[in-house]
Amino acid sequence: MKKIYLAVICMLLCLTYSCTNMLDNIQDYLDEGESIYVGKLDSLKAFPGKNRIKIQGQMIYGVNQIKCKISWKNPVSLDPESKEFPVVRQNAGETFEFMLDDMTEGQYDFLVVTYDPQGNESIPTGIPAYIYGDQYQEALTNRIIRSVTPEEFINGNNERKWIAKIDWNISRGDGIIGCNIEYEKEDGTFESKYVPVNELSTVLDDFKAGGILRYNTEYIPEEASLDIFTVEKEEMALPGNNYIGVTKDLTSLYIKNAGHPFTGYDMEGNWGKLYDWSWNDVIRNQNGAGGAGFATYSGGIVQFESTRWDQGVFENGKIWQTISLPEGRYEMRIEVANAANQGAGGHTFRFAVVEGTSLPDNAELDNPDAAVLSCFQFQRNNVTETMPAFVIDSPTEVTIGWVVSLTETHRNIEFKSVRLWSVAE
């Protein structure tokens, strides 16, 4: 029995010693007493602007916070700075916003702590952000204008009008949101427009030829930005009512039924008359007789061949169209399809551009004193031929078209399209 008592006493002494050692690990905390933590500002979001920032967060837990302190280091001097804001709580889960003004541009790491009336603190929460300023502003440039080109059109009242078309460079995700433009109109007043970044071309109606165009560009550095940054206005001259210095396909503006395919009417078999083009009696006698005019081959072409291929020839057959061109430098591009024996004999297949309302005969096209602006003799097939460029110094009425003479049978040439281009020097 004495042995049993002795064993029990030993066990109690061991347990007492063990408990004493366990308390040693947390004794410092026990000596400090109970800690009270305040509900923190959670789910932080930063809204940067120009030398300012708004910090937003939710106070999900508790309603006893009375103050919020935001701390940071100045990104230039590295000095610690802070600002305190009063907090009035009503309900749990409220969202609060705090604005910091007059901030130095640069990168920040903000630390946010809330306090209750007894001065107890929350666990700190943090968020990084960049605040923008003059350095960012000075690096911004205006959106690139690729070109400002004039275009003539016929309105609903059959009146010829001009527009200026701005073609913008594509934004590369550099923060551009749009441009403000103002331009001088024909009556001397100014019209303003806002051009969003996804607009790649902008039309200016009733613009004054050679007038003033001003524009500047708006940026936001990031989606949550508080402020829009605006570049200084840039000024440039509007174009004139001409195509000087412009390379552009003008076919649809000035030439009707230009081909690819051509269209026709009054068909006899595969032959007929061309819509929107005029022709002389030589061609009139060939229409429907397998000689010249519109043909249905290849979907719709202009064709010249000896009458019924082997029965007859003709001289100075003409098909033309008269148009008015403004000042500019131009060239015609003629798409030739199939041809047979066009290089033999004394016949000619020509396309000409002349001043006035009529086409001269082939013999006159060689006269240097004639008002011939451009002329081309076709000798190849299945090719697009570019005619010599010609210059119009003032608005001028010109006639374009074919002058064809066949001196032998079994001759043929087909045309798919005609194109009018303005060309820069």
Burial class (CB within 10 angstroms; exposed 0-12, middle 13-18, buried 19+) of 158: exposed
Q: How far apart are CA 8 and CA 11, in angstroms?
A: 5
User: Cα–Cα distances in Å, from 83 out to 69, 80, 86, 114?
Assistant: 6, 11, 10, 12
What does the pLDDT read at residue 14? 43
Residue ranges of the chain whose pLDDT lies below 50:
1-10, 12-30, 32-33
What does the pLDDT read at residue 160? 84
Burial class (CB within 10 angstroms; exposed 0-12, middle 13-18, buried 19+) of 31: exposed
- CATH number (3.10.20.30, 2.60.120.260, 3.40.50.12780, 3.40.710.10) of 251-422 reads 2.60.120.260
What does the pLDDT read at residue 275? 97
What are the start and end residues of each CATH 2.60.40.10 domain in the chain?
Answer: 41-131, 145-241
Quickly tell me which residue has 């103002």 as its tokens.
182
Class of domain 145-241: mainly beta
User: Percent of the chain scored above 70 by pLDDT?
Assistant: 90
What does the pLDDT read at residue 190? 98
What does the pLDDT read at residue 342? 61
What does the pLDDT read at residue 314? 92
User: Cα–Cα distances in Å, from 337 out to 300, 310, 415?
Assistant: 11, 20, 5
What does the pLDDT read at residue 235? 98
pLDDT digits (tens, 9 = 90+) for 404-418: 999 888 888 999 999
Q: How far apart are CA 260 and CA 385, in angstroms?
A: 15
pLDDT digits (tens, 9 = 90+) for 262-295: 999 999 889 999 999 999 999 998 888 888 999 9
Q: What are phi and psi of 2, to 5 degrees?
A: -60, -35
CATH superfamily of 41-131: Immunoglobulins (2.60.40.10)
What are the start and end residues of each CATH 2.60.120.260 domain in the chain?
Answer: 251-422
